[in-house]
Structure formats: structure tokens, C-alpha cells
Amino acid sequence: MSKIRAQISFDDAGATIMPMGSNFTLKDKQGNEITFTLSALLRCMAIAEHEKLVPALPGEFWQQVEAKIKSN
């Protein structure tokens, strides 16, 4: 598996978040849109947790996420 790093500048202050199936679309006031899959959002959360940018979630949370992914 290769790693890809990306940086996206997006004005998320006041952005609208729209669930679209298993994806989430953010739309800012200027009409810019970006869509993320749920798995991409969870990976971002795991990275933020690892980098100590957000409080750690209970290990049970990640175990439940992993079990859900394996069941699908």
C-alpha cells in the first residue's frame, strides 16, 4: 500500500455538511465542494488522534469500527 499526502485548503467555517450514502460532501459559502468517504474520514481521525490533535477515543471505539469494516 502506498501513502499519499495531500493538503487541501477549504473554508470550512460555516460549511454545509451533506451525507450522501457512505460519503460526506462539504460545501462552503463560495460553492466549493469536497467529498470524503466514511473510511477516509475515519483515517483522518486516527491520524489526528495519533498526532495528539484530538483527544484519544476509547480503544473500544476503534475495535467496533474495525469489526464493522470487516463485516461489510
- Each domain of the chain, given as residue ranges in start order, spans 16-70
Structural contact between residues 33 and 26, judged by C-beta atoms closer than 8 angstroms? yes
Residue 67 has pLDDT above 80, yes or no: yes
| pTM assigned to the model | 0.65
47 Cα distance to chain centroid: 10
CA distance 69 to 9: 29
pLDDT at 29: 81
The per-residue pLDDT for range 28-57, each reduced to its tens digit, is 888 888 888 888 888 888 989 999 999 999
Determine the 3-state secondary structure of 28 from DSSP.
Answer: coil
pLDDT at 55: 94
Q: What angle do helix axes 59-71 and 38-50 make, rounded to 10 degrees?
A: 150
Structural contact between residues 36 and 59, judged by C-beta atoms closer than 8 angstroms? no
